[in-house]
Structure formats: structure tokens, C-alpha cells
Amino acid sequence: MYQDEIFSNAITDAKKEGYDSLTREIKGMEAAIERFFSKIFETTASVSERDFNVSSF
């Protein structure tokens, strides 16, 4: 009975660790994608301002 409880706790801990690791990885990817898009949009905005003589909001 005690070994079953230890095994159950180990499985729960492994699932929680895997979930936490996955969450950290997703947040890192999300931050990288946001930085990428912000750089792309800033670049296209400045090119539009220069080429078409318009100001961005």
C-alpha cells in the first residue's frame, strides 16, 4: 500500500514537472515570436513613413 502511494506521488510529480517545463518553453517561444513581430512591424512602419511620407500612430 505504501509503495503504491509513493508510485502515485512520483507520477503526479513527474506530470507537474513536465507541465511546468512545457509552460516555460511555450512562454519563451511566445516572447521570441512577439519580439520578431514587433521588429517586423516597426521596420515596415518606418519604411512606409519614409516612402509614402505618412506618419504612424
How does pLDDT run across 15-52, given as a tens digit for each residue?
A: 999 999 999 999 999 999 999 999 888 887 777 777 77
Task: Find the angle CA(25)-CA(31)-CA(34) to the nearest 5 degrees.
Answer: 140
Look at residue 11 and tell me whether its pLDDT is greater than 80: yes
The grid coordinates of residue 39 equal 521588429
* Separation of CA 9 from chain center: 29
pLDDT band at 2 (very low <50, low <70, confident <90, very high): confident
Look at residue 3 and tell me whether its pLDDT is greater than 80: yes
Helix ranges restricted to H, 1-57: 2-52
pTM value is 0.65
